[in-house]
Structure 1
Amino acid sequence: MSEFEQTEKQKMLAGELYLATDPELVAENKRASRLLRQYAQTTLEEPELRQQILRDLLGRVGEAANIVPPFHCDYGSNIFIGDRFYMNYGGVILDCNTVHIGNDVLCAPYVQIYTATHPTDPTVRLTGRELAAPITIGNTVWIGGGAIICPGVTIGDNTTIGAGSVVTKDIPANAIAVGNPCRVIKTLEKC
């Protein structure tokens, strides 16, 4: 490979079209799948084992992070979570690009965080190439049950996302936002 050629993983993380069937990405997905199976078999009585598996799986795990199984992700290594993160049952993080989550973030059951997307041009889509855009979630954010966070979104500090919301655009700090598409319905005084 010349010095100017990018790997499929580099393309993926750069937000460019990439092939998820690339051997390096397939191997990383299999690794994550193995760790997720191990994690799903743990119990509440095994907090140290759960923390070790999360440290092996994710790019960063803050102190006292808790993800309730079942949990699903693509690679894990592109997920960076802060201290006291909590994700309830059925969480999904498609981490084909980076997901940065701050401290004290709470996710209700079935929250879905998607960096992954596909080309809208059907001719390009038929090539099997995919796209991904990073997601950033600030500190002290609450995300209600069944909410979907779409690729490329940033959610500011101290914000609440209502249950069932579909977040397609950035949401500022100190806001309460709900709906499909998600929109700010109330701004909080500075916290």
Structure 2
Amino acid sequence: MNGSERIKMAAGEWYTCLDPELEALRILARDAVFEYNSLPPRQRGDVGSSLKSLLGAAGERARIEAPFHCAYGFNIFLGDGVFLNAGCIILDTAPVRIGKGTLLGPNVQIYCAEHHKEAAGRQAGLEIAKPVEIGDNAWIGGSAVILAGISVGAGAIVGAGAVVTRNVPPNTTVVGKPARPVKRG
């Protein structure tokens, strides 16, 4: 593993998050998110200027309700008409792509980082970043958690409070902890 920790993170290799370059990027994100979350609602509009410059991309009419939190921001790509309700957290150590027309309920959490399985590795800050992709017109219910490396297909529904540990096929509804497909009667 050669290169900076940021390069390792982007390549999907083990890296240490206890790195000055990565910490500086997280501080930039926290500052931009704080500015956005502190604006009066009428001044936020769609994705506000403090977040637009931070995010990888934000389509037309993409909207993020405050409060919002992300790790870096530059790995978040929102399609047209995406809506993130209040309290969403995206820990974007890898790309997070959310397709057009997709809705995320309040307090949805998306985690791209997996920590090392051994205590010594965790103490050293070792992580590996895995991308998350959510297709067009999906609906992610409130307080759902989507884990690293997961793909949620277009038109899928993730029930409120579900913990998504496996890929969700298009036009499938999943519920529970861990999330499982709902059987059709």
The normalised TM-score by structure 1 is 0.91
- Is the CA contact (8 Å cut-off) linking 1:42 and 1:49 kept in structure 2? no
d(CA) in 2 for partners of 1:87, 1:117 = 23
Which ranges of structure 1 fall in alignment gaps of 5 or more residues? none
1:170 alignment counterpart: 167
2:154 alignment counterpart: 157
d(CA) in 1 for partners of 2:47, 2:105 = 19
d(CA) in 1 for partners of 2:96, 2:10 = 11
CA shift for structure 1 position 49 = 8.3
| Cα deviations by residue, 1:13-45 (Å, 9 ceiling, x for unpaired) | 222111112221111111001101100111221
Query: Residues 127 and 44 from structure 1, CA distance in 2 versus in 1: closer, same or farther, beyond 3 angstroms?
Result: closer
CA shift for structure 1 position 186 = 4.5
SS state at 1:117 partner = strand
- Is the CA contact (8 Å cut-off) linking 2:36 and 2:44 kept in structure 1? no
**Root-mean-square deviation over aligned CA pairs:** 1.5
Match of 1:115 among 112, 117, 140: 112
* Amino acid of the structure 2 residue aligned with 1:94: L
1:36 alignment counterpart: 33
- Is the CA contact (8 Å cut-off) linking 2:156 and 2:171 kept in structure 1? yes
SS state at 1:45 partner = helix
d(CA) in 2 for partners of 1:96, 1:83 = 22
d(CA) in 2 for partners of 1:58, 1:152 = 20
d(CA) in 2 for partners of 1:49, 1:165 = 27
| Aligned pairs, number | 184
d(CA) in 2 for partners of 1:48, 1:142 = 22
Query: Residues 48 and 164 from structure 1, CA distance in 2 versus in 1: closer, same or farther, beyond 3 angstroms?
Result: closer
Which ranges of structure 2 fall in alignment gaps of 5 or more residues? none
- Is the CA contact (8 Å cut-off) linking 1:42 and 1:50 kept in structure 2? no
* Amino acid of the structure 2 residue aligned with 1:145: G
The normalised TM-score by structure 2 is 0.94
Would you identify which runs of 4 or more consecutive aligned residues in structure 1 move more than 6 Å?
Answer: none
SS state at 1:177 partner = strand
Query: Residues 143 and 48 from structure 1, CA distance in 2 versus in 1: closer, same or farther, beyond 3 angstroms?
Result: closer
